[in-house]
DNA sequence: CGCGGCTTTGATGTTCATCAAGTAAAGTGG
DNA sequence: CCACTTTACTTGATGAACATCAAAGCCGCG
């Protein structure tokens, strides 16, 4: 039996990779993967470049973004550990359609794309699992975008704060991993109005702000603003 | 050799289904599919209902939409022949996350979901092809949504008109398959402003309007508004 | 230390939603 | 088929939401 264990105890890709394989047939994913570290701010993949690798998030936080013809960026979504970062486009395009940038120190596992494709071709259940993960991820992005689209400025800001608090950090106090401008790029409003709204929340004692550190003091009200604003 | 021909000459699903199969192994997709007709306005699938079938568009035009908690609809995208309508969610969820409604008389081919899943499980190349189609479709939706988000009211309306003209009907004159309100639900603006903008385009001699019939008379200018508005 | 980027606040104007009111079109029941 | 109801469409007036412009403080970094 091949070794199926490596240092990555929680690796979900490993589970997917091996879950439907006869032990004797498989090569060890841990032997062929390359780990790579990125500091906050570093670009992981660039829009337009050829896709050669399959990227899997081990640690950290990244943003997916796209640059418009006018040079202005739009942030599409964020990815956290155990997401397949190169989800979008990997199986439908030869080049990246979006850029991925680390917004926290990030570790990714990199597999040669052909290895993953070959494995999927030889193992339909793995292909099915991948498909499910891709669908899930894109569904989440679409739903999130729709939710934001329904809301006004205040609701959108509340939404973003709750997103980081509830979904990413699972804590009422956290350090915003992105700038005010990036929040604006995500929700489709201007930087100034993002700042103004945060200040307003502060004045209304809904949150406390210390630079990038945010403390949500009245979550119920914030949730209310997110739901009805 | 099994029969691989049926009345659907252009069926791409059939091609996918059979492209990687040994002739002797395959069952005929044409024998197990059920064709179903929907008139303009009829609901094909409803948000929240269990997914039992794999739906493939043979003829017509549909909209994907979602109803918000406030009862207001949002239109996510449109699908035309040879799209897999149940793309989103099919492999990741037990229930539909979106509704699909015919906006033109529509014919779909319906396959039992388990049959498709089984075929994918036994045939990894088919699974890979499906994956590519799913990625492509969701990529297109995301890109379209980003493009719309970047634009103002006029740019969004121009975008929608060009979408139907260039992508759906491939003609400068066409009948709008959706109401003014539905355009509003798609671009995230109000019905009144959609109407006002269309009237303005008419006054500026960019388009001609006869009820639902639209004739684009100054495409270059419309393209310009879409690009920079 | 100075430069560029991020943040903040205020003033101003534009864009857009809302409200109102009326016409046209389309579906409904007698 | 006609009166009736509802839904779609249209235009105008008003105000709210938001973008833009301007100016200044702050912070990190070479």
**Domain harbouring A179, CATH code:** 1.10.10.10
Confidence of residue B131 (pLDDT cuts 50, 70, 90): confident
| Claim: this prediction has a pTM higher than 0.85 | yes
Examine the domain organization and report whether A193 and A105 are in the same domain.
Answer: no
Report the pLDDT averaged over residues A87-101.
Answer: 86
So what's the pLDDT on residue A3? 45
Report the pLDDT averaged over residues B13-20.
Answer: 70
Q: Is the CB of A189 under 7 A from strand D?
A: yes
Using the predicted structure, report yes or no on whether residue A4 has a pLDDT greater than 60: no
Using the predicted structure, report yes or no on whether residue A143 has a pLDDT greater than 80: yes
Is A141 part of the contact surface with chain B (CB cutoff 8 Å)?
Answer: yes
Examine the domain organization and report whether B93 and B17 are in the same domain.
Answer: yes
Sign of torsion, CA B192 B197 B200 B201? negative
Shortest alpha-carbon distance between residue B100 and chain A (Å): 15
More confident: B70 or B66: B66
Using the predicted structure, report yes or no on whether residue A33 has a pLDDT greater than 70: yes
Examine the domain organization and report whether A101 and A185 are in the same domain.
Answer: no
Shortest alpha-carbon distance between residue B210 and chain A (Å): 31
**Least confident interval from A194-203, B106-115, B150-159:** B106-115
Q: Among partner residues B70, B76, B90, which is closest to A135 by beta-carbon distance?
A: B90
Backbone angles phi, psi at B125, to 5 degrees: -70, -35
Of the three residues B147, B169, B189, the one that is the final residue of a domain is B147
Examine the domain organization and report whether A54 and A69 are in the same domain.
Answer: yes
Report the pLDDT averaged over residues A1-28.
Answer: 62
The separation between CA A73 and the C-alpha centre of its own chain, rounded to angstroms, equals: 16
Sign of torsion, CA B25 B27 B30 B33? negative
Of the three residues A110, A132, A147, the one that is the final residue of a domain is A147
Kindly state the percentage of chain B with pLDDT values over 70. Answer: 89
Of chain A residues 4-43, which have a CB less than 8 A from chain B?
none
CB-based contact B29:B17 (threshold 8 Å)? yes
Examine the domain organization and report whether B35 and B49 are in the same domain.
Answer: yes
Confidence of residue A14 (pLDDT cuts 50, 70, 90): confident
Confidence of residue B2 (pLDDT cuts 50, 70, 90): very low
Is A100 part of the contact surface with chain B (CB cutoff 8 Å)?
Answer: no
Report the pLDDT averaged over residues A124-139.
Answer: 87
Examine the domain organization and report whether A199 and A176 are in the same domain.
Answer: yes
Examine the domain organization and report whether A169 and A103 are in the same domain.
Answer: no
Residue B7 lies in a domain: no
Report the pLDDT averaged over residues B40-65.
Answer: 93
Distance D17 C1' – B115 CA (angstroms): 51
Q: Among partner residues B92, B125, B141, which is closest to A136 by beta-carbon distance?
A: B92
Which residue carries 């699974």 as its tokens?
A: B127
**Least confident interval from A17-26, A32-41, A114-123, B183-192:** A17-26
So what's the pLDDT on residue A17? 67
So what's the pLDDT on residue A20? 66
Tokens of A170: 């699972």
Residue B68 lies in a domain: yes
Kindly state the percentage of chain A with pLDDT values over 90. Answer: 63
Cross-chain residue pair B139–A76, CB shorter than 8 Å? no
Cross-chain residue pair A90–B149, CB shorter than 8 Å? no
Examine the domain organization and report whether A42 and A121 are in the same domain.
Answer: yes
Of chain B residues 187-216, which have a CB less than 8 A from chain A?
188
Which residue carries 């930087």 as its tokens?
A: A191
Using the predicted structure, report yes or no on whether residue B4 has a pLDDT greater than 70: no
Q: Report the C-alpha gap between A47 and A66 in whole angstroms.
A: 7
Q: Where do runs of H (alpha helix) occur along B56-169?
A: 87-90, 113-122, 124-150, 153-162
Q: Is the CB of B152 under 7 A from strand C?
A: yes
So what's the pLDDT on residue B15? 73
Report the pLDDT averaged over residues A4-16.
Answer: 67
Structural domain harbouring B70 = 12-147
Q: Domain total for chain B?
A: 2
Residue B162 lies in a domain: yes
Using the predicted structure, report yes or no on whether residue A131 has a pLDDT greater than 70: yes
**Least confident interval from A60-69, B82-91, B120-129, B207-216:** B82-91
Cβ burial of B63 (10 Å; 0-12, 13-18, 19+) is buried
Buried b (16+ CB within 10 A) or exposed e, B83-115: bbbbbbbbbbeeebbbbbbbbbebbbbbbebeb
Confidence of residue B69 (pLDDT cuts 50, 70, 90): confident
Is B22 in a helix, a strand, or coil? coil
Cβ burial of A66 (10 Å; 0-12, 13-18, 19+) is buried
Q: Report the C-alpha gap between B20 and B18 in whole angstroms.
A: 6
Residue B140 makes CB contacts below 8 A (sequence gap 6+) with B77
Q: Between the ranges A82-86, A121-125, B92-96, where is the mean pLDDT highest?
A: B92-96
Examine the domain organization and report whether A157 and A208 are in the same domain.
Answer: yes
> Residue B107, by phi and psi: left (phi above 0), alpha (psi -120 to 50) or beta?
beta
Shortest alpha-carbon distance between residue A46 and chain B (Å): 16
Examine the domain organization and report whether A133 and A171 are in the same domain.
Answer: no
Using the predicted structure, report yes or no on whether residue A23 has a pLDDT greater than 60: no
More confident: B21 or A148: A148
So what's the pLDDT on residue B1? 42
Q: Is the CB of A58 under 7 A from strand C?
A: no
So what's the pLDDT on residue B105? 95
Of the three residues A126, A147, A168, the one that is the final residue of a domain is A147
Is A62 in a helix, a strand, or coil? strand
Q: Between the ranges A147-151, B31-35, B123-127, where is the mean pLDDT highest?
A: A147-151
**Cβ-based contacts of A145 with chain B (< 8 Å):** 142, 145
Using the predicted structure, report yes or no on whether residue B180 has a pLDDT greater than 70: yes
Residue B219 lies in a domain: yes
Using the predicted structure, report yes or no on whether residue B25 has a pLDDT greater than 80: no
How many H-runs (helices) and E-runs (strands) does chain B carry? 9, 10
DSSP A61: -
**What is chain B's Cα-based Rg?**
20
Is A146 part of the contact surface with chain B (CB cutoff 8 Å)?
Answer: yes
Using the predicted structure, report yes or no on whether residue B229 has a pLDDT greater than 70: yes
Q: At what angle do helices A191-203 and A153-162 cross, to 10 degrees?
A: 80
Residue A104 lies in a domain: yes
Residues 5-64 of A with CB under 7 A from strand D: none
Is B69 part of the contact surface with chain A (CB cutoff 8 Å)?
Answer: yes
Q: Is the CB of B181 under 7 A from strand D?
A: yes
Examine the domain organization and report whether A50 and A87 are in the same domain.
Answer: yes
Using the predicted structure, report yes or no on whether residue B179 has a pLDDT greater than 50: yes
Q: Among partner residues A76, A90, A120, which is closest to B124 by beta-carbon distance?
A: A120
Q: Report the C-alpha gap between A96 and A31 in whole angstroms.
A: 26
* CATH assignment at residue A30: 2.60.120.10
Q: Is the CB of B154 under 7 A from strand C?
A: yes
Round the average pLDDT of chain A to a whole number and report it.
89
Residue A4 lies in a domain: no
CB-based contact B225:B158 (threshold 8 Å)? yes
Beta bridge partners of A101: A43, A63
CB-based contact B63:B113 (threshold 8 Å)? no
So what's the pLDDT on residue B196? 98
So what's the pLDDT on residue A72? 92
Instruction: Give the closest residue to B114 by CA, choosing from B130, B96, B91.
Output: B91
Report the pLDDT averaged over residues A189-216.
Answer: 97
Residue A2 lies in a domain: no
Examine the domain organization and report whether B164 and B179 are in the same domain.
Answer: yes
Which residue carries 């879409």 as its tokens?
A: B226
Q: Report the C-alpha gap between B110 and B117 in whole angstroms.
A: 13
So what's the pLDDT on residue B20? 66
CB-based contact A110:A90 (threshold 8 Å)? no
């Amino acid at each position: 039996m091949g070794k199926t264990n490596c240092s990555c105890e929680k690796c979900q890709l490993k589970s997917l990779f091996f879950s439907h394989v006869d032990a004797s047939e498989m090569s060890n994913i841990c032997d062929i993967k390359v780990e790579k570290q990125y500091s906050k701010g570093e670009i992981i993949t660039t829009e337009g470049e050829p896709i050669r690798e399959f990227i899997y998030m081990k640690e950290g936080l990244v943003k997916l973004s796209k640059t418009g013809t006018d040079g202005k960026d739009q942030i599409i979504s964020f990815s956290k550990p155990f997401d397949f970062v190169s989800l979008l486009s990997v199986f439908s395009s030869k080049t990246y359609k979006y850029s991925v940038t680390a917004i926290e120190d990030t570790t990714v596992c990199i597999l040669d794309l052909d290895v993953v494709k070959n494995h999927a071709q030889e193992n339909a259940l793995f292909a099915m699992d991948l498909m499910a993960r891709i669908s899930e991820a894109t569904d989440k992005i679409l739903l999130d975008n729709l939710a934001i689209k329904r809301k006004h400025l205040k609701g959108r800001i509340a939404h973003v704060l709750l997103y980081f608090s509830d979904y990413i950090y699972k804590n009422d106090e956290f350090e915003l991993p992105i700038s005010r401008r990036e929040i604006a790029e995500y929700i489709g409003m201007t930087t100034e109005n993002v700042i103004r709204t945060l200040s307003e929340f502060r004045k209304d004692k809904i949150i406390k702000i210390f630079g990038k550190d945010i403390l949500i003091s009245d979550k119920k009200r914030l949730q209310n603003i997110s739901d009805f604003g």
